[in-house]
């Protein structure tokens, strides 16, 4: 079988992977921004109102709703193409070496499918716990802010992170997300042919920074909630 699955060449598939991946990273920043408004609660006299209003906006705004479809499509394409590419890669070496090589190069790049699979499992659990709970199951309390009724997503999040097991699961998965991103961001630029003697070192540095600040930013929230209640 040739490597021409779906009538896309190997490079085209990788370009799609990288473009979608970069789009997903922008979503991670947006999501983190909204999450961080939860920390408002832990200031003296603070509440989860900002978070609830933001969550409401994300759930109802028409532009966001269109992008929600794009986002789900993006996740699906990233996962589907990632799987196809990986299966082809496994098939490209039917007989393994007795002594596997271990070049001293990007260690995280060797485990993208594994960290990706873990992130996928996390994503399913995370969506079931929050997104589908709000959208489909609907068994969420409500809260009135300035005379308007909102889903009390803030209370749902606060309740979830009372369990230490849940907190640990989230924090560990954020670490794996960091491993994934550490290779992903700079690799996307290489795939898109954006390699330059001046800017590539900067992109690589940025990749490391993103792989640290995103997981740390995300991990702060469950940790703060757990240790403040």
Partner 1 sequence: MDLTLKIWRQKDSKSKGGFKTYHVKDISPDASFLEMLDILNEELIHKGEMPVNFDNDCREGICGACSLYVNGRPHGPDSAITICQVHMRKFKDGSTVTIEPWRSRAFPVISDLMVDRSAFDRIIQAGGYISVSTGGVPDANEIPINKMKADEAMDAAACIGCGACVATCKNASAMLFVSAKVSQLALLPQGQIEAKRRVQKMVKQMDYEGFGNCTNTGACEAECPKEIKLTNIARMNREFIGAKLGAQKMKL
Least Å from the CB of residue 162 to partner 1: 40
Q: How many residues does the chain have?
A: 229
Q: Which stretch binds partner 1 (CB under 8 A): 56-64, 70-78, 96-104, 212-220?
A: 96-104
Residue 67 corresponds to which tokens in the numbers above?
Answer: 């992008």
Question: Measured between alpha carbons, how far is 64 from 69 in angstroms, rounded to an integer?
Answer: 9
| Residue 206 C-beta-side C-alpha neighbours within 13 Å | 12
Q: How far apart are CA 14 and CA 191, in angstroms?
A: 7
In whole angstroms, how close is the CB of 93 to partner 1 at the nearest point? 4
- When the beta carbons of 2 and 60 are compared against partner 1, the nearer one is 2
Say how far apart CA 69 and CA 75 lie, in whole Å.
10
Q: Using the rule CB under 8 A, is 96 a contact of partner 1?
A: yes
The position carrying tokens 């990273």 is 25
**Piece of 34-42, 92-100, 149-157, 159-167 that binds partner 1 (CB under 8 A):** 92-100
Interatomic CA distance for residues 97 and 170, integer angstroms:
36
112 touches partner 1 by CB under 8 A = yes
**Residue 11 within binding range of partner 1, rule CB under 8 A:** yes
Q: Which of positions 168-207 make contact with partner 1 (CB under 8 A)?
A: 183, 187, 190-195
Q: Does 7 bind partner 1 (CB under 8 A)?
A: no
Q: Which of 27, 74, 18 is nearest to 188 (CA)?
A: 18
Does 1 bind partner 1 (CB under 8 A)? Our answer is yes
Q: Is there binding between residue 43 and partner 1 (CB under 8 A)?
A: no
Backbone angle region of 121, left / alpha / beta, with phi > 0 → left and psi within -120 to 50 → alpha = alpha
Phi then psi for residue 44, to 5 deg, are: -55, 130
> Using the rule CB under 8 A, is 97 a contact of partner 1?
yes
Choose the stretch contacting partner 1; rule: CB under 8 A; options: 85-93, 120-128, 162-170, 213-221. 85-93
Binding-site ranges for partner 1 (CB under 8 A): 1-4, 9-15, 85, 88-89, 91-106, 109-110, 112, 183, 187, 190-195
């Amino acid at each position: 079988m040739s490597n021409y699955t779906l009538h896309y060449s190997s490079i085209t598939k990788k370009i799609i992977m990288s473009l979608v991946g970069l789009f997903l990273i922008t979503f991670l920043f947006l999501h983190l921004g909204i999450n961080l408004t939860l920390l408002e609660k832990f200031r003296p006299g603070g509440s989860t109102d900002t978070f609830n209003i933001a969550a409401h906006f994300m759930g109802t705004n028409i532009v966001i709703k269109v992008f929600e479809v794009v986002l789900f499509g993006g996740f699906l394409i990233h996962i589907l193409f990632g799987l196809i590419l990986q299966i082809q890669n496994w098939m490209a070496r039917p007989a393994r070496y007795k002594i596997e090589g271990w070049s001293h190069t990007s260690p995280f790049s060797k485990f993208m499918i594994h960290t990706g699979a873990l992130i996928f499992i996390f994503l399913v659990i995370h969506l079931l716990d929050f997104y589908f709970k709000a959208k489909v199951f609907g068994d969420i309390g409500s809260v009135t802010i300035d005379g308007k009724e909102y889903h009390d997503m803030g209370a749902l999040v606060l309740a979830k992170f009372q369990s230490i097991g849940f907190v640990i699961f989230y924090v560990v998965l954020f670490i794996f997300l960091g491993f994934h991103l550490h290779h992903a961001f700079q690799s996307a630029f290489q795939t898109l042919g954006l390699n330059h003697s001046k800017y590539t070192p900067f992109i690589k540095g940025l990749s490391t920074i993103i792989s640290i600040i995103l997981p740390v930013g995300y991990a702060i929230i469950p940790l703060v909630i757990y240790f403040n209640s």
